[in-house]
Copies of this chain bind each other. A is one copy, B any other.
Amino acid sequence: MRIGIDVGGTTVKIGYIENREIIKSFAIPTKKETLFEDIYNAIKDEKNVEFIGFGLPGTVKNNYIVNLPNIGIKDVDINKEFKIYYPNINILSTNDANAAALGEAIKASKFKSTYFITLGTGVGGGYVYNGSLVNGTHSCAGEVGHSFIDPLHNFKCTCGLSGCLETVSSATGVVRLARTYKDKFKSNIDFDTISCKKVFDAAKENDELGLYVVNLMADYLGIALANIAVTCDVDAFIIGGGVMAAGDFLLDKIKESFKKHAHYGVRETEIYKASLGNLAGMLGAAYLDD
A binding-site residues for B, Cβ under 8 Å: 59, 113, 127, 129, 134-149, 151-152, 159-161, 223, 226-235, 261, 263-266, 268-269
The reply to whether A129 and B134 form a contact with Cβ atoms under 8 Å apart is yes
Q: How far is the CB of A118 from chain B (nearest CB, A)?
A: 14
Among residues of B, the one whose C-beta sits closest to the C-beta of A59 is B265
The reply to whether A229 and B140 form a contact with Cβ atoms under 8 Å apart is yes
Q: How far is the CB of A132 from chain B (nearest CB, A)?
A: 10
The reply to whether B223 and A263 form a contact with Cβ atoms under 8 Å apart is no
Q: How far is the CB of A281 from chain B (nearest CB, A)?
A: 20
Q: How far is the CB of A59 from chain B (nearest CB, A)?
A: 7
C-alpha gap A138/B148 in the complex (Å): 25
Q: What B residues does A139 contact at CB under 8 A? A: 233, 265
- A148 touching B261 in the complex, CB below 8 Å, given contacts A141-B233, A234-B136: yes
Q: What B residues does A263 contact at CB under 8 A? A: 140, 143, 146, 159, 161
Q: How far is the CB of A62 from chain B (nearest CB, A)?
A: 14
- A147 touching B269 in the complex, CB below 8 Å, given contacts A134-B129, A140-B263: no
In the A-B complex, list the 8 residue pairs whose CB atoms are closest, starting with the nearest.
A136-B233, A141-B233, A146-B263, A140-B265, A143-B230, A147-B227, A140-B233, A137-B235
Among residues of B, the one whose C-beta sits closest to the C-beta of A61 is B265
Q: What B residues does A161 contact at CB under 8 A? A: 261, 263
The reply to whether B138 and A265 form a contact with Cβ atoms under 8 Å apart is yes
Q: Which listed residue, B127, B135, B148, B230, touches A140 by the CB 8 Å rule?
A: B230
7 A-B contact pairs sorted by A residue (CB < 8 Å):
A127-B232, A136-B266, A137-B233, A141-B232, A144-B227, A149-B227, A161-B263
C-alpha gap A221/B231 in the complex (Å): 14
- A226 touching B148 in the complex, CB below 8 Å, given contacts A134-B233, A232-B231, A234-B136: yes
Q: Which listed residue, B129, B141, B223, B269, touches A148 by the CB 8 Å rule?
A: B223
The reply to whether A265 and B229 form a contact with Cβ atoms under 8 Å apart is no
Q: How far is the CB of A76 from chain B (nearest CB, A)?
A: 18
The reply to whether A233 and B138 form a contact with Cβ atoms under 8 Å apart is yes
C-alpha gap A269/B141 in the complex (Å): 12
Q: How far is the CB of A201 from chain B (nearest CB, A)?
A: 29
C-alpha gap A161/B260 in the complex (Å): 8
Among residues of B, the one whose C-beta sits closest to the C-beta of A135 is B233
- A146 touching B59 in the complex, CB below 8 Å, given contacts A261-B161, A266-B138: no
The reply to whether A160 and B264 form a contact with Cβ atoms under 8 Å apart is yes
C-alpha gap A160/B261 in the complex (Å): 10
C-alpha gap A145/B155 in the complex (Å): 26
C-alpha gap A221/B54 in the complex (Å): 36
